[in-house]
Structure formats: structure tokens, C-alpha cells
Amino acid sequence: MAHTKKIALITGANKGLGFEMARQLGQAGVTVIVGARDEVKGEAAARKLRDKGLDAQFLKLDVTDNADRAAAAGFLEDKFGRLDILINNAGIAAEGLGAGRTVTTTADVIHRTFETNFFAPVALTQALLPLLRKSDAGRIVNMSSILGSQTLQADPNSQIYDFKSLSYDASKTALNSFTIHLAHELKDTKIKVNSAHPGWVKTDMGTEAAPMELPEGGRTGVALALLKEDGPTGGFFHLGKPLPW
């Protein structure tokens, strides 16, 4: 029997924003695949969602591992025959947000950051695109950051002008560029591709100093994952409002 519910894969979904978006999508009636590299933590997260009555299962997925990416595509093909929603959420801030000075950031930090925040989501999306093409309404959400906005980073009057970390910010700028390019390539299909800025949220990365709680932080990604046919593509959004590239 064909699986009629929407299928969503969220990377880095065992905690924080990834888990929150999985929870919100599950509450919306979506089957959620909890992608995580740690099997114990990933399975525990999926179990926690199931205990809430949601349709969730764990998938071992280290986004930087080519074998894991290929296995994920095979699993989704065999289990569901398609993918409706891909949320590229897994990410790192190797030096902490706002802590990576341009003149001292090492090549190793830049490479590690880009490996997870840019190269991995590009490769995973490419691997899963054939399955997204089989969806009646494919949605790709790249979890970016306002810190990747070149316009705001260059504006002395913007709220983020003095909040800079080269490796993290540049990786999110690159991810935004991927969004623009992929959306253009897919503009004549039913697939929509957008970047999301969740806000400064209380997570391991955002710290307890952040003003936003997880439920509000998850709203932008979830809204873009559930866009209607007349929704936007190739944009950068926060809580329904466009952000400058």
C-alpha cells in the first residue's frame, strides 16, 4: 500500500532545532525521519516523538559521510519510494558564533565548517533529488542564518555588523548561494527551494543567552517545508518575512 502521508527527512534532528522541527512536522501529520550521526541519541529522539503519538523513525546519517548519504537514499527509496521534504539542518560553528576572527581563523576550521555546513548539504540534496522529483510537492529547506547575509554584514547600521565569524558566516553565505542556484534550476518543477533563518534560538549553538525559545525557532523551517503550491521559491526568510541576501 502506498504511503500517503508526507515524508520529511531532517538532518541533525536528534536535538535542538532539528528535533523541534521534527516535532512540529509530526504534529502536522508528516512522517518524520530523524537523521542523526549518533545512533543512540538519534533512536532516543525518534522514540521520544513516537511516545507523543507522532510517526517518526531514526535514520543513521552523518551528512559528511558519502556512504551514509547513499544509504539514506536507498532507505528512502525502498521504504517510501519518494521524499517530500528535505530540511538541511545539520551544522556546526567550530569557533562559536561571533568568535572566529578573520585574521586568525585557520584553514582547518574553514574546511571543517564548510564540510558540514555547505559541501554536505549540497551532496545530500543531489543524492536525494531523484526522490524529491517523485513528490507531488517537493520542498527543500536549507537552514541558514542571518549571519550569512552579505547585505547586512556590510551595513554598519545593521544589527549584525559587529557580530562576525568568518568560517560560519561564509559557509551560510555559500549555502544561500546554493539555494538561489538550485531554485533557478528547478523553477519549472513542483520543487521549491528556500533558505531559512530560524532566529537566535536557545540551543547548544545559540546558548541560553538567545532570546528565542525552540518552538518559535522551528516555525520558519516548518512553514517553508509545508509551503502551498503558490508559495515562494529561491528566497531567504525569517518568520514569513524575506531577508536580504
Q: So which residues are the catalytic ones? A: 168
Name the amino acid, one letter, at 7: I
Q: Tell me how far apart the alpha carbons of residues 62 and 52 are, in angstroms, rounded to a whole number.
A: 26
With residue 124 as reference, give the H or E element that holds it: helix 120-132
Integer angstrom CA distances of residue 153 from 159, 163, 170, 184: 9, 8, 11, 25
3-state DSSP call for residue 18?
helix
Closest among 68, 65, 84 to 139, alpha carbons compared: 84
225 Cβ contact partners less than 8 Å away, ≥ 6 residues apart: 8, 21, 25, 30, 85, 87, 139, 141
Closest among 118, 121, 125 to 171, alpha carbons compared: 118
118 Cβ contact partners less than 8 Å away, ≥ 6 residues apart: 171, 174, 175, 178
